Amino acid sequence: EAGVAQSPRYKIIEKRQSVAFWCNPISGHATLYWYQQILGQGPKLLIQFQNNGVVDDSQLPKDRFSAERLKGVDSTLKIQPAKLEDSAVYLCASSLVADEQYFGPGTRLTVT
């Protein structure tokens, strides 16, 4: 069974630029999550999708971050414009419903 796929693995951008991350969950998993992990901290949930719908986006900085999940499968997370404090690892996870989550390798973003 293929795991959660994410791309790119690494990205370096300058502040005020935009960036997008892609996630492909495990086949059949209805729930998809995006987490932000700042160095030295545990991951923090940014947004949770159930199929196409948003379940929780309470910690998503909506003035600069956006996310979508087309057709209930792949998802993209976008940052526009990026700030220095957005430097982090962005992790995507999926689960069948709301149970055990499986994580992808993450995308390491550096904003200079």
Partner 1 sequence: KQEVTQIPAALSVPEGENLVLNCSFTDSAIYNLQWFRQDPGKGLTSLLLIQSSQREQTSGRLNASLDKSSGRSTLYIAASQPGDSATYLCASHGSGNTGKLIFGQGTTLQVKP
Residues contributing to the site for partner 1 (CB under 8 A): 4, 31, 33, 35, 40-45, 48, 55-56, 91, 93, 95, 97-106, 108
Six-digit token string for 65: 């971050």
Six-digit token string for 39: 């160095």
Least separation, in Å, of the C-beta of 31 and partner 1? Answer: 6
48/75 with CB nearer partner 1: 48
Closest CA to 79 of 48, 110, 100, 52: 110
- Which letter does DSSP use for residue 15 in this model? T
Least separation, in Å, of the C-beta of 81 and partner 1? Answer: 26
Six-digit token string for 6: 């994410």
Residues pairing with 75 in the sheet: 23, 69
32/82 with CB nearer partner 1: 32
Least separation, in Å, of the C-beta of 70 and partner 1? Answer: 20
Cβ(78)–Cβ(62) under 8 Å?
no
Least separation, in Å, of the C-beta of 47 and partner 1? Answer: 10
17/102 with CB nearer partner 1: 102
